[in-house]
Amino acid sequence: MREGKVWLGACGIVIRGQEALVVKKTYSGLKGQWSFPAGFVQEGETVDEAAVREVLEETGVEAVVRQVAGIRSGVIRESISDNMVVFWMDYIGGEPRPQEGEIAEARFMPIQELLHDPLSSTYLKIILPDYIKREQGMAGQSFDIDPIFQYTSYKIFK
């Protein structure tokens, strides 16, 4: 979602064995760096649905959300509120292929290699050690929809 100066994005960290799915974008400040598939939340979708969609669009890999890895929030040039919900995701299938025009490379890389690669983004190097430490996560749980706010989809991630 990009509403003026308030942005909301979703990011998926797909793990397969001891490897993480990473991309090199063809644009933005992350151009040429290894980062995780990510993008803006679209109207009518939840943040976890956006993460699943972005992973599939950017890499061709199918994955499901396991749990929230964290929230990255910052202000760009003192005026743009840039927020992203980041999810740990489980690999379902497919081999990485870069999205034409947006992604230069998409591949699974060993986590330990990414931690020491000078082309790995800062956020990647901050969040991947958490994966090494974590045991098992809990997937998002669906609940009865609260009639007061008229949600059409409602989930809690722990």
Spatial separation of the C-alpha atoms in residues 20 and 1, rounded to whole Å: 26
Determine the 3-state secondary structure of 119 from DSSP.
Answer: coil
* Single-letter residue type at 89: M
Which SS3 state, helix, strand or coil, does residue 55 take?
A: helix
Q: Which residue in the block uniquely carries the two structure tokens 């949600």?
A: 151
Reply yes or no on whether 45 is catalytic. Answer: no
Half-sphere exposure at residue 142, Cβ-oriented, CA atoms within 13 angstroms: 8
Place of tokens 């989809």: 153
Largest CA distance in the chain: 50
Which one of the listed residues 57, 105, 113, 135 is annotated catalytic?
105
Question: 29-48 b/e with 16+ CB inside 10 Å = b?
Answer: ebeebbbbbbbebeeeebbb
Candidates 108, 89, 105; CA nearest to 97 is 105
Question: Which residues are annotated as catalytic?
Answer: 105
